[in-house]
Amino acid sequence: MATATLDSCMLYPLHNQRCLYAQHLYISHDVSVRKNFKLKCSARKRCEYVDLHNVLVPYSDAWALQKAIVKEKRAMIERNEECHDTLIILQHHPVYTLGTGSSEEFLNFNVKDPPHDVIRTERGGEVTYHGPGQLVMYPIINLRNHKMDLHWYLRALEEVVIRSLFSTFSIEASRLEGFTGAWVGKQKLAAIGIRVTHWIAYHGVALNVSIDLTPFKQIVPCGIRDRKVGSIKQILGECQTSLHGSSIDQFSADDSLLIDIAQKSLIREFSEVFQLNLEQVSPATSHLQKYIKAL
């Protein structure tokens, strides 16, 4: 697969009327965000990072892994041991997932004969789709080390995506009042669904990078009927019409490179927003190996 260096994370200077993103707005916004999200402590805490971003992981395996890690962290807390955070990033095989209270009325297919597997989970939110070309971040966060506030946590996850989209792709995303996620106009680029037990948060963020958007037509994504789902690749493609001859063409045409660049950007912004030192570990060498099957 194609690889990208950290220096390649600033390759998309998009400047046309539709894709004109005012940098001064982001900078001023960033100052206020840093006041809200930067931790009071000067020393960053450790976060174990498992990178599977180029691996297609069955949803059920990733779900089981998260629950096993949550169980371990709860035991650590009960023993008064230090409970650091964990971040896993990966892609999934095609699957539809529903939150705890999701309604099947948002499925545009016969649930007994679905186009892809359908799994009901304990996360919040309505139905969504996961598949190749979508980066899924699963932060397993001990909120006692940050802020015991679920609204703060959701806004922080949104901030990771918003910063990443702007700093790397010059895409100005925003929040939509009353909903979670990251939006560009009426298009949702990132969906967020979490579960919190004993102040340990899991599940997380799904960012559409180069994913085929067709399967989303089989559902009402997140239960929102008057909004669409978009992707980074789609938006970059729309901008190409006014950027003839730009280097953007070669990168947006290479899905694996686009995934690599987005992954590097996401983990960088995650580290900054949550003020964590990410220590990348191999699933085969970390203590997580006892939970991970052959992925």
Query: Pairing between strand 182-184 and 117-120?
Result: unpaired
Long-range contacts, 54-58 (Cβ 8 Å, 24+): 54/1, 54/91, 54/256, 54/259, 54/260, 55/90, 55/91, 55/295, 56/90, 56/91, 56/92, 56/93, 56/132, 57/90, 57/91, 57/92, 57/93, 57/295, 58/92, 58/93, 58/95
List the structure tokens of 166: 């702007």
Return all residues near 81 (Cβ < 8 A) that are at least 6 apart. Answer: none
Distance, in Å, from the CA atom of 45 to the CA atom of 22, rounded to the nearest integer, reads 33
Q: For residue 278, what are the β-bridge partners? A: 47
Catalytic residue among 9, 19, 47, 222: 222
Active site residue 9: no
Which amino acids are annotated catalytic?
222
